[in-house]
Amino acid sequence: MLSRVAAVKAPRTHNRRRVTGSSGRRREGRESEAQRPKMSRRVFTTAVLLLVVMMCCSTCGGVQADVEEPSSDPKFEWKDANDDGVTVESFGVPGLLNVGSDVFAVAEAQCEKNDGEDTFTGIASQLLTETGNEPKEVLKDAKEKTLVLEEGISSEEKTRVDVSRPTTVVDGDDIYMLVGKYSCKGGQESGADDWGLLLVKGNVSAEAPNKKIGWKDTESLPRGIFVTQLESLTGLIGGGGSGVKTKDGTFVFPLEGTKKKDETEEDGKTVSLLLYTLDTSRNIENWALSKGMSADGCSVPSVVEREKDKLMMMTACGDGRRRVYESGDKGKTWTEALGTLSRVWGSKQDGEGKAVRSGFITATIGVGDDEKNVMLVTLPVYSKEKENEKEKGVLHLWLTDNTHIVDIGPISGKDDDAAASALLYKSSESTTDGNNEELIALYEKKKGDGESSNSLWSVRLTAQLQRVKDVLETWKEVDERVSKLCPSEGAVQAPSTDSACSTKITAGLVGFLSGSFSDNTWRDEYLGVNATVKKNDVAEQVKGGVKFTGRGAWAEWPVGAQGE
């Protein structure tokens, strides 16, 4: 994706600089703007109203008009991209949202006009109605489903605004979208006011099958909430995909920042952090940035609420590993989830780390005693069919309960080269008939042949959801079997404090190698990573395990070497 938009930019200290957008493509910056005196909106409003009254008095009441309260913010208006000469070339930053019983795909749209001389970005969305289990292309009639943003009070002053990295949160019937914005205003010497983050409120309009999302209220987030962080950052952009509405009503959006390099304004490494609401008013003045950040070099964050007051953030880092962080204080501090999920997945392509955003969601699956809170992850696994072929990304679905991890299998099309993705789980309680659960994926498909244009594809994961349930049933059965390895409480008089039976034996148990052995493969009973016996004819299956029978026999359990 050639996303052209960054977001909040810090004040610049030199005339020209380069800014990294979401694709890593750089654009030349503008000259810095002189600092303006600070004036509160209330004082500004009072001053202008006083001026209006004085002007009316001086004209002896000859002209009367309705006077609206003036605003220092520009006016924003969303318009259809269905103009003559406009083409939508590519989509990226996929997201899924659930409003009522409806599921919508939302994405960043790359548009062109005048044979590519004029390029800009908008926001595309579509109601998903396919019920089959094969991948289907969405947003095929792209122009009719894409909206572009204009800024300005009068028609003569209106300029097009590029918007990037749409990140959404749903609250009842309302949709809140965070986007980065950039607008090029002709005749200005400075571009400082042209960068920022916008909070957009939308709703679903019309009736099925013509339902669509309309974006209405659009406001700029004030830069005052970024003051402290911008002392160390040169810019902020959205994470893309979905944010989170937590159990206490807080909105949380993932963000990606760029650190200053060597205490200068030069762009350094990326970091991941959060933007969240301070209360439930949704007032743009009541937002804050998290004080804590990821390690340097970690980008395209996805965030979930694992349990009440506990957030988890997955990032793609420069070393090719996916680092996962946990926070119990809305990002004030982060702890890397070493030993559980962090650095388990890799995303290396052609020897380099590939920064594509993952689908990362929580789900409560099952009912009653079988109910279990899990996390689901989608990421591409890169492979070549032939030695001279370019690696392709095959999108896989993973299941984890923060202890065990199972690869459910591939979900993208056979020949697709998949990149960024999004996931959505609808429980039976949220469906119209109260019976059918749904698991849906949306992913970018690269066009290939060196072309940058990507399409979006959705797929309903009915078989994979059943596989998830089967795995959860297996975990439960193995937990019960492993628990019986310890004697009952009545039979234990004084257990050793360092004994495996001194605590719940299944707590934190990642895998269990027992009696499932064949062809030198020692299978994990939890269906995770298998061990391999490294020497032939030196091991045999026995009741409850494997017996090594030859000299030098050993087995490897490559949990730390998965890479994918």
Are residue 435 and residue 538 in the same domain, yes or no? no
- The amino acid that residue 521 corresponds to is T
Evaluate whether residue 168 is within a structural domain: no
> Residue 161 in contact with residue 79, Cβ under 8 Å?
no
Answer whether residue 312 shows pLDDT above 50.
Answer: yes
Q: Which of 472, 497, 522 delimits the end of a domain?
A: 497
- The amino acid that residue 146 corresponds to is T
Q: What is the pLDDT of residues 61-101, one digit of tens each?
A: 333 333 334 344 568 999 998 877 789 999 999 999 999 99
Evaluate whether residue 230 is within a structural domain: no
- DSSP summary character for residue 350: T
pTM: 0.82
d(CA 91, CA 84): 20
Q: How confident is the model at residue 369 (pLDDT cuts 50, 70, 90)?
A: confident
| Structural domain count of the chain | 2
Which of residues 418 and 225 earns the better pLDDT score?
418
Are residue 433 and residue 527 in the same domain, yes or no? no
Evaluate whether residue 267 is within a structural domain: no
3-state secondary structure of 327: strand
d(CA 468, CA 527): 11
User: If you count them, how many residues does the chain have?
Assistant: 564
Q: Where do we find the tokens 């590939």?
A: 354
**Cα torsion through 276, 282, 284, 290, rounded to 10:** -10
Are residue 403 and residue 448 in the same domain, yes or no? yes
* Best CA proximity match to 354, nearest among 316, 306, 305: 316
Distance from CA of residue 348 to its chain's centroid?
A: 19
Q: How confident is the model at residue 159 (pLDDT cuts 50, 70, 90)?
A: confident
Evaluate whether residue 432 is within a structural domain: yes
Evaluate whether residue 448 is within a structural domain: yes
Are residue 482 and residue 547 in the same domain, yes or no? no
Evaluate whether residue 53 is within a structural domain: no
Q: What is the span of the domain harbouring residue 457?
A: 358-497
d(CA 455, CA 443): 8
* Best CA proximity match to 459, nearest among 424, 432, 430: 424
Would residue 527 be called left, alpha or beta, if left means φ above 0 and alpha means ψ between -120 and 50 degrees? left
Evaluate whether residue 234 is within a structural domain: no
Are residue 474 and residue 533 in the same domain, yes or no? no
Evaluate whether residue 3 is within a structural domain: no
Are residue 377 and residue 488 in the same domain, yes or no? yes
Answer whether residue 34 shows pLDDT above 60.
Answer: no
State mean pLDDT over 173-201.
Answer: 75
> Residue 408 in contact with residue 396, Cβ under 8 Å?
yes
Are residue 493 and residue 516 in the same domain, yes or no? no
Q: What is the pLDDT of residues 420-461, one digit of tens each?
A: 999 999 987 655 545 578 999 999 999 876 566 799 999 999
